[in-house]
Amino acid sequence: MNLLLDTNRYCDFCRGRAEVVDSLQRADRVCLPFVCLAELRAGFHCGAHGRSNERVLTQFLNRPRASVLYADEQTTHHYARLFHQLRAQGNPIPTNDIWIAALAIQHDMYLLTRDRHFDALPQIPRV
């Protein structure tokens, strides 16, 4: 199984949450969306442990099955369709989460998140 890791679940992993650690250990591939990488680094800059958090993140991303997933032109088409769907449903979600959803669809990945607003997108499989 290929997993797309949301920011909150990366933080859960760093805290040693057993269900997240187990999911990541069973995954064939673990990707961190570029927007989550940006959210994490923004938090590092605002916090007291930025350097140590950055070291942990670098170690995580250096694992053989881990990588950062970036948007490309195809991603923008998925984003636009999801944006339209959410607007038609009357269920807006944060912009960064639409990017995450678009990447999940584009790359046929399971999303690992705690955010309930992804319920508005039933086409995205979640762990």
Please indicate, yes or no, if residue 126 is contained in any of the structural domains.
Answer: no
- Residue 50 pLDDT class (50, 70, 90 cuts): confident
- Residue 47 pLDDT class (50, 70, 90 cuts): confident
Q: What is the pLDDT of residue 64?
A: 95
Q: How many domains does the chain have?
A: 1
Q: What is the pLDDT of residue 48?
A: 86
Please indicate, yes or no, if residue 22 is contained in any of the structural domains.
Answer: yes
Q: In this predicted model, what pLDDT tens digit does every residue of 77-118 receive, in sequence order? A: 999 999 999 999 999 999 999 999 999 999 999 999 999 999
Query: Can you give the CATH number for the domain in which 31 is found?
Result: 3.40.50.1010
Q: What is the pLDDT of residue 75?
A: 98
DSSP-assigned states of every residue in 30-45 = EEEEHHHHHHHHHHHH
CA distance 47 to 101: 27
Helix axes 95-106, 34-46, angle to 10 degrees: 140
Contact 104, 6 (CB under 8 A): no
Residue the block writes with tokens 């992993």: 13
Q: Which helix (H) or strand (E) holds 87?
A: helix 73-89
Mean pLDDT of 53-80: 97
Please indicate, yes or no, if residue 68 is contained in any of the structural domains.
Answer: yes
Closest CA to 5 of 116, 107, 80, 110: 110
pTM: 0.94
Q: How many CB atoms lie within 10 A of CB 66?
A: 17
Q: What is the pLDDT of residue 7?
A: 97
CA distance 95 to 13: 24
pLDDT at 55 over 90: yes
Domain span at residue 23? 2-120
Please indicate, yes or no, if residue 103 is contained in any of the structural domains.
Answer: yes
Q: In this predicted model, what pLDDT tens digit does every residue of 1-34 receive, in sequence order? A: 999 999 999 999 999 999 999 999 999 999 999 9
Please indicate, yes or no, if residue 125 is contained in any of the structural domains.
Answer: no
